């Protein structure tokens, strides 16, 4: 009885904690398989739509061959687009920060670690959330990143939507295809922020299995040695 | 030195029983022998003890073997992490764009913190290489200062392209490039002049006689890529001495 | 082989050391789950030193290069990501293991006479560990590293008279910068690990002098057999060497699951704000410390006055030092025989957990009342213990241990 009273007191003391809630825009969760084909497609789409402005300096081009199994041809043709691109160097755009700041107000950030910093849900939702806003210099705004300096480079694909989500102009692909494309790009950004995930997923089961075998042996040894202790 | 104790021996246990409270209901009354930590054979349990000991030894060996194998496997990534990493590998090679070098012009690029000169030689420059032979210390490149494919008077894969580490073999200064005939001395056909101690080289980097420098300048290992529009400098030729 | 051993023994007490500390050192036979964490702490220490050395081979302690060198380790160094993840996971696991190790002390009265010095050395180890974690956290020079560094050196600055000078000594500059990183690297890689190694050695020496406590809180050396060895004792080797190896196996499974499948632990082990480089012109919205320092941070924030807050923090960290003299129960040490003390320990643990959670939230006025409530409960444990321990009902303590 006394124990219950105590617990009740503790819970009462902690109750106000429940009132502290998280606030912010609702984020959508992407549902892609984090595998090599998905990431390769994401890399291709990234090179097509984002790679004029955003660097991925931590990712060296040759990594796409070894990590992702991308063919040398696809790599040269679809990915190594900026001038001066070299296999063993990082993915760097040629836009100079000074020019970029002049044109956009702020230089487009390097996106190598963006997925770590923002989280995968944020990035996916961001890519899906541009809308027409005549009050902005670019003519566009974003639900997840208000007053963003980035223009809606995805408009040709997605089309143009109003703030309430209604369609102003249709895009070149269907909403389902666009959604999938944005998921691919998100997967690529997730890979870029932590390429080790592919390796970890592949060696993980072996490491754990080995340790389980070791622990079972160690336990049997312990039991055998402790047999005569009472 | 073990003291035998059988269940029911209360000489020491009596006081224990009295001290027990309800909490102790499940306590094992057999205070028993203190185990001696190894193979124990007491009375009728002799055979059992041997089996136990064998099992213990096997398990100890098996666990140790698996453990050692695990540690050895784990050591591999740690040792490998000390190998030159991707950024070092990237800096180890330099790629130069040859389309920017017109005939008669040169370009000097930095490679592994060393200057490498690339000269787009004209036919006149190439002709002069044959004429300057009597003044040279090692005209036929006997001393291995270049990879085998550069062991010729052009000291190059392709005659018109000189790719050379621009470091004087005397005391490591960077020689001046003097391609114009008649500049350094009256009979000058073009070449290199080192300002530090006056060493002279021809347009293939071959060292002149009677100068402080002992050897021809070093030619690195390189290859042409992208249909010959670029050259990739990869490594020092192992036998060559820089300076 | 035995000839070689004899040669060594003539010149170095090898066999004697092994006998005295392992094969003829008797530990209570009733060690339970709570007794794994001492050897596990030693394991994590070794893991941190080894991974630390290999990280040091690539780290660059300058304001302009530090962040990049860490990313270099993650992206360019072969297996660099593995070594780094082991090191960050190890840091958090070091605290998990140490907190469980300390909790065992609370539960079974392992701080009581004659183990007061053992306890005090242990607490000095804990303080050094917090310092080690702090110095190490600043090194990657992310934005949280920078601002966390600022906050703690500011706290040092609050010390009366010498505070400003001490803070400048710590920073090596007017703000956090390259001089700070250089000296923090010296402290993190050399000074504190060296201190820790010596302290751990002293800790084990002190332990062997008194012998270990056990879950019943009784002294096994009170009941010796005819051979002079404790009746309830068993030689450390092979019994506890073998048991600890099993404990290591279980630990490594859990550890590897984290390293391989959840190394950032969703921002708990590697904070998201540290993925942007240090920016002296932009403080993150919430500068909260790592989870293992969070309870003390919650206590600090609960006090509205700066100096009093720091004093409270200091007292909170230092209070457990006095435990050996605060607990005055003459009959029993262990919670097994002290139901009231057990409740007190549970309240203490819950308070630390809740305060830890509060410490990781953004500052909010709504959190002040619960923070203050649990702060009172925390200090209440230490203030009330001398009185309660004298009068609490104690169950009869057995003579011999219970398995």
How does the average pLDDT of chain C come out, rounded?
95
Helix C80-108 vs helix B46-80: crossing angle, to nearest 10: 130
Question: Does B234 touch chain A if contact means CB atoms closer than 8 Å?
Answer: no
Query: Hey, which residues does B191 pair with through a beta bridge?
Result: B178, B202
CB atoms within 10 A of CB A213: 14
pLDDT recorded at residue C23: 95
Contact flag A217-B28 (C-beta cutoff 8 Å): no
pLDDT reading at B8 higher than 70: no
Residue C384 CA to chain centroid, in angstroms? 25
Give A-chain residues touching B62 at CB under 8 angstroms: 217, 221
Contact flag B77-C82 (C-beta cutoff 8 Å): yes
pLDDT reading at C116 higher than 50: yes
pLDDT recorded at residue C173: 85
Residue B43 CA to chain centroid, in angstroms? 65
Contact flag A229-B35 (C-beta cutoff 8 Å): yes
Task: Please state the ipTM of this predicted complex.
Answer: 0.93
Nearest by CB to A214, which of B37, B52, B67? B67
**Calpha distance A105→A125 (Å, rounded):** 23
pLDDT recorded at residue C246: 98
Closest chain C residue by Cα to residue A217: C246
Q: Which residues contact B95 (CB under 8 A, 6 or more apart)?
A: A86, B225, B230, B231, B232, B233
The tokens for C323 are 């435990």
Q: Report chain B's C-alpha Rg in angstroms.
A: 40
pLDDT recorded at residue B80: 96
Residue B107 sits at φ, ψ, to 5 deg, of -140, 135
Percent share of chain C, pLDDT over 70: 100
pLDDT recorded at residue C157: 87
**Calpha distance A188→A45 (Å, rounded):** 9
Nearest by CB to B59, which of A63, A86, A224? A224
Q: Which H or E run contains C118?
A: helix C116-138
CB atoms within 10 A of CB A108: 19
The residue written with tokens 């400048």 in the block is C168
Mean pLDDT calculated for residue range C163-188: 92
Contact flag C235-B37 (C-beta cutoff 8 Å): yes
Residue B168 sits at φ, ψ, to 5 deg, of -65, 135
Closest chain B residue by Cα to residue C224: B34
pLDDT tens across C56-65, in order? 999 999 999 9
Contact flag B95-A213 (C-beta cutoff 8 Å): no
**Calpha distance B241→C5 (Å, rounded):** 52
The tokens for C366 are 């709504």
The tokens for B74 are 């784990």
pLDDT recorded at residue C160: 86
**Calpha distance A186→A193 (Å, rounded):** 11
Closest chain B residue by Cα to residue A220: B59
Question: Does A8 touch chain C if contact means CB atoms closer than 8 Å?
Answer: no
pLDDT tens across A178-192, in order? 999 999 999 999 999
Nearest by CB to A224, which of B28, B35, B55? B55
Q: Which of A111, A215, A217, A230 to mutate to test the interface with C (most CBs of C within 10 A)?
A: A215
How confident is residue B88, by pLDDT bands cut at 50, 70 and 90?
Answer: confident
Nearest by CB to B16, which of C72, C234, C398? C398
Q: Which of C26, C72, C76 to mutate to test the interface with B (most CBs of B within 10 A)?
A: C76
The three state secondary structure string of chain B is: CCCCCCCCCHHHHHHHHHHCCHHHHHCCCCCCCCCCCCCCCCHHHHHHHHHHHHHHHHHHHHHHHHHHHHHHHHHHHHHHCCCCCHHHHHHHCEEEEHHHCCCCCEEEEEECCEEEEEEECCHHHHHHHHHCHHHECCCCCCCCCCCHHHCCCCCCCCCCEEEEECCCCCCCCCCEEECCCCCCCCCCCCEEECCCCCCEEECCCCEECCCCCCCCCCCCEEEEECCCCEEEEEECCCCCCCC
pLDDT tens across B133-149, in order? 888 999 999 999 999 99
Distance of residue B30 Cα from the nearest chain C Cα, in angstroms: 11
pLDDT reading at B39 higher than 60: no
Mean pLDDT calculated for residue range C254-261: 97
Mean pLDDT calculated for residue range C197-219: 97
Nearest by CB to B28, which of C227, C235, C403? C403
**Calpha distance C346→A208 (Å, rounded):** 34
Nearest by CB to B90, which of A60, A210, A228? A60
Nearest by CB to C234, which of B34, B77, B78? B34
Contact flag C264-A116 (C-beta cutoff 8 Å): yes
Nearest by CB to C370, which of A17, A58, A117? A17
Name chain C's partners: 3 or more CB pairs within 8 A. Answer: A, B
Q: Which H or E run contains C3?
A: helix C2-11
Contact flag C367-A207 (C-beta cutoff 8 Å): no
Give C-chain residues touching B27 at CB under 8 angstroms: 398, 402-403
Domains within chain C, CATH numbers bracketed: 33-281 (1.20.810.10), 288-398 (no CATH)
Mean pLDDT calculated for residue range A65-94: 90
Give B-chain residues touching A61 at CB under 8 angstroms: none
How confident is residue B36, by pLDDT bands cut at 50, 70 and 90?
Answer: low
Burial string for B8-36 (b: 16+ CB within 10 Å, else e) reads eeeeebeebeeebeeebeebeeebebbbe
Contact flag A214-B66 (C-beta cutoff 8 Å): yes
Name chain B's partners: 3 or more CB pairs within 8 A. Answer: A, C
Contact flag A214-B35 (C-beta cutoff 8 Å): no
CA-wise closest residue to A130 among A163, A103, A177: A163
pLDDT recorded at residue B225: 87
Per-domain residue ranges of chain A: 29-213
Distance of residue A20 Cα from the nearest chain C Cα, in angstroms: 7
Query: Hey, which residues does B207 pair with through a beta bridge?
Result: B201
pLDDT recorded at residue A21: 44
Q: Which of C86, C223, C245, C396 to mutate to test the interface with B (most CBs of B within 10 A)?
A: C396
Contact flag B34-C79 (C-beta cutoff 8 Å): no
**Catalytic-labelled residue, pool B42, B120, B193, B197:** B197
Contact flag C253-A16 (C-beta cutoff 8 Å): no
How confident is residue C287, by pLDDT bands cut at 50, 70 and 90?
Answer: confident
Mean pLDDT calculated for residue range C238-263: 97
Contact flag A88-B86 (C-beta cutoff 8 Å): yes
How many helices (H) and strands (E) chain C has is answered by 16, 2
pLDDT recorded at residue C90: 97
pLDDT recorded at residue A13: 60
**Calpha distance B1→B4 (Å, rounded):** 9
| Number of Cβ pairs < 8 A linking chain A and chain B | 43
pLDDT recorded at residue B187: 85
Mean pLDDT calculated for residue range A157-170: 91
Closest chain C residue by Cα to residue B80: C78
Question: Does B76 touch chain A if contact means CB atoms closer than 8 Å?
Answer: no
CA angle C370/C374/C377 to nearest 5° reads: 145
pLDDT tens across A101-151, in order? 888 889 999 999 999 999 999 999 999 999 999 999 999 999 999 999 999
Q: Which H or E run contains C325?
A: helix C323-326
Closest chain A residue by Cα to residue B38: A225
Mean pLDDT calculated for residue range A210-225: 97
Say if CB C211 and CB C173 are below 8 A apart. no
Contact flag B81-C78 (C-beta cutoff 8 Å): yes
Q: Which of C243, C282, C285, C298 to mutate to test the interface with A (most CBs of A within 10 A)?
A: C243
pTM of the model: 0.83
pLDDT recorded at residue C378: 97
Give C-chain residues touching A218 at CB under 8 angstroms: 242, 245-246, 248-249
pLDDT reading at B44 higher than 70: no
Mean pLDDT calculated for residue range C99-125: 97
pLDDT reading at A16 higher than 70: no
Sign of the alpha-carbon dihedral angle for C340, C342, C345, C346: negative
CA-wise closest residue to C63 among C186, C188, C182: C182
Which spans in chain A are helix H? 2-14, 16-19, 36-49, 61-66, 72-74, 97-104, 114-118, 120-128, 155-158, 175-193, 196-225
pLDDT reading at B33 higher than 90: no
Q: Which H or E run contains C339?
A: helix C339-360
B197 flagged as catalytic: yes
Ramachandran class of B113: left when φ > 0, alpha when ψ lies in -120 to 50, beta otherwise: left
Distance of residue A16 Cα from the nearest chain C Cα, in angstroms: 7
The residue written with tokens 């909010």 in the block is C364
How confident is residue B184, by pLDDT bands cut at 50, 70 and 90?
Answer: confident
Query: Hey, which residues does A167 pair with through a beta bridge?
Result: A161
Give domain A29-213's CATH architecture: Orthogonal Bundle (1.10)
Contact flag B85-C78 (C-beta cutoff 8 Å): yes
Q: Name the pairing type of β-strands B161-165 and B176-178.
A: unpaired
How confident is residue A83, by pLDDT bands cut at 50, 70 and 90?
Answer: confident
How confident is residue A11, by pLDDT bands cut at 50, 70 and 90?
Answer: low
**Calpha distance A70→A59 (Å, rounded):** 14
Distance of residue C344 Cα from the nearest chain B Cα, in angstroms: 21
Question: Does A211 touch chain C if contact means CB atoms closer than 8 Å?
Answer: yes
> Is cis: bond before C238, omega within 30 of 0?
yes
Contact flag A222-C249 (C-beta cutoff 8 Å): no
CA-wise closest residue to C228 among A168, B1, B108: B1
CA-wise closest residue to A51 among A205, A189, A204: A189
pLDDT recorded at residue B35: 60
pLDDT tens across C187-200, in order? 999 999 999 999 99
Q: Name the pairing type of β-strands C26-28 and A167-170.
A: unpaired
Question: Does B225 touch chain A if contact means CB atoms closer than 8 Å?
Answer: no
How confident is residue B46, by pLDDT bands cut at 50, 70 and 90?
Answer: low
Stretch 30-69 of chain B: residues touching chain A, C-beta under 8 Å: 30, 32-33, 35, 37, 40, 52, 55-56, 59-60, 62-63, 66-67
Say if CB C181 and CB C62 are below 8 A apart. yes
**Calpha distance C401→C403 (Å, rounded):** 6
């Amino acid at each position: 009885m006394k124990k219950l009273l105590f617990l009740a007191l503790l819970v009462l003391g902690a109750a106000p904690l429940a009132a502290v809630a998280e606030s912010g825009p609702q984020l959508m969760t992407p549902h892609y398989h984090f595998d090599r084909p998905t990431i390769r497609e994401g890399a291709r789409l990234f090179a097509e739509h984002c790679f004029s402005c955003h660097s991925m300096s931590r990712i060296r081009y040759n990594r796409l061959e070894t990590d992702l199994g991308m063919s040398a041809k696809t790599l040269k043709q679809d990915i190594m687009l900026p001038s001066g691109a070299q296999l063993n160097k990082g993915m760097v755009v040629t836009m100079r920060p000074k020019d970029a700041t002049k044109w956009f107000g702020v230089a487009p950030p390097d996106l190598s670690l963006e997925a770590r910093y923002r989280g995968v849900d944020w990035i996916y939702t961001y890519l899906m959330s541009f809308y027409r806003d005549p009050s902005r210099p670019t003519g566009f705004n974003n639900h997840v990143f208000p007053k963003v300096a980035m223009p809606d480079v995805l408009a040709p694909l997605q089309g143009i939507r109003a703030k309430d989500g209604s369609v102003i102009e249709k895009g070149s692909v269907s909403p389902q295809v666009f959604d999938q494309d944005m998921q691919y790009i998100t997967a690529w950004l997730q890979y870029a922020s932590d390429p080790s995930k592919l390796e970890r997923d592949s060696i993980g089961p072996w490491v754990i299995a080995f340790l389980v075998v070791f622990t079972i042996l160690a336990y049997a040894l312990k039991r055998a040695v402790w047999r005569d202790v009472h | 030195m073990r003291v035998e104790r059988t269940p029911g021996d209360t000489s020491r246990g009596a006081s224990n029983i009295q001290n027990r409270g309800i909490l102790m209901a499940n306590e094992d009354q057999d205070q028993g022998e203190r185990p001696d930590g190894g193979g124990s054979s007491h009375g009728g349990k002799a055979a059992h003890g041997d089996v136990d000991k064998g099992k213990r030894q096997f398990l100890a060996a098996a666990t140790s073997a698996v453990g050692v194998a695990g540690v050895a496997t784990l050591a591999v990534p740690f040792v490998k992490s000390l190998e030159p990493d991707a950024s070092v590998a990237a800096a180890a090679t330099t790629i130069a764009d040859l389309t920017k070098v017109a005939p008669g012009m040169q370009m000097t690029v930095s490679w592994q913190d060393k200057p490498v000169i690339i000269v787009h030689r004209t036919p006149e420059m190439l002709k002069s290489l044959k004429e300057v032979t009597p003044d040279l210390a090692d005209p036929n490149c006997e001393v291995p200062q270049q990879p085998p494919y550069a062991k010729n008077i052009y000291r190059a894969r392709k005659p018109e392209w000189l790719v050379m580490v621009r470091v004087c073999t005397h005391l490591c200064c960077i020689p001046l490039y003097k391609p114009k005939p008649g500049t350094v001395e009256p009979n000058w056909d073009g070449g290199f002049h080192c300002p530090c101690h006056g060493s002279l080289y021809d347009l293939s980097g071959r060292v002149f006689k009677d100068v402080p420098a002992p050897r021809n300048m070093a030619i690195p290992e390189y290859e042409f890529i992208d249909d010959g529009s670029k050259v990739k400098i990869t490594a020092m030729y192992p036998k060559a001495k820089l300076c | 082989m035995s000839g070689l051993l004899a040669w060594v023994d003539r010149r170095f007490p090898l066999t004697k050391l092994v006998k005295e500390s392992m094969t003829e050192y008797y530990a209570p036979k009733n060690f339970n789950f709570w007794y794994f964490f001492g050897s596990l702490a030693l394991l994590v220490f070794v893991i941190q030193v080894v991974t630390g050395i290999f990280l040091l081979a690539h780290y660059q302690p300058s304001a302009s290069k530090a962040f990049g060198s860490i990313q270099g380790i993650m992206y360019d160094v072969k297996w660099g990501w593995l070594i780094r993840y082991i090191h960050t996971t190890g840091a958090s696991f070091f605290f998990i293991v140490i907190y469980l190790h300390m909790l065992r002390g609370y539960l079974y009265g392992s701080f009581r006479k004659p183990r007061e010095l053992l306890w005090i050395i242990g607490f000095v180890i804990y303080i050094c560990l917090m310092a080690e974690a702090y110095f190490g956290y600043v090194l990657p020079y992310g934005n949280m590293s920078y601002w966390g560094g600022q906050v703690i050196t500011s706290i040092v600055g609050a010390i009366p008279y010498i505070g400003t000078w001490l803070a400048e000594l710590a920073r090596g500059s007017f703000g956090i910068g390259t001089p700070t990183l250089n000296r923090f690297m010296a402290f993190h890689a050399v000074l504190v690990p060296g201190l820790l190694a010596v302290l751990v050695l002293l800790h084990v020496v002190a332990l062997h002098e008194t012998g270990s406590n056990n879950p019943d809180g009784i002294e096994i050396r009170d009941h010796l057999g005819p051979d002079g060895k404790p009746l309830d004792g068993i030689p450390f080797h092979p019994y506890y060497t073998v048991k600890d190896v099993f404990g290591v196996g279980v630990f490594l499974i859990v550890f590897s699951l984290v390293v391989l499948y959840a190394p950032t632990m969703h921002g708990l082990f590697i904070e998201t704000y540290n993925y942007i480089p240090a920016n002296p012109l932009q403080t993150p919205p919430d500068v909260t410390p790592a989870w293992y320092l969070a309870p003390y941070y919650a206590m600090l924030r609960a006090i509205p006055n700066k100096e009093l807050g720091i004093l409270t923090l200091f007292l909170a960290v230092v209070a457990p030092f006095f435990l050996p003299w605060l607990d005055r129960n003459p009959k029993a040490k262990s919670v097994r025989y002290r139901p009231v003390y057990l409740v007190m320990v549970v309240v203490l643990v819950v308070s630390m957990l809740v305060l830890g959670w509060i410490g990781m939230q953004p500052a909010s006025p709504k959190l002040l009342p619960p923070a203050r409530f649990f702060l009172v409960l925390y200090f209440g444990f230490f203030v009330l213990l001398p009185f309660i321990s004298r009068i609490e009902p104690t169950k009869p303590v057995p003579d011999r241990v219970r398995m």
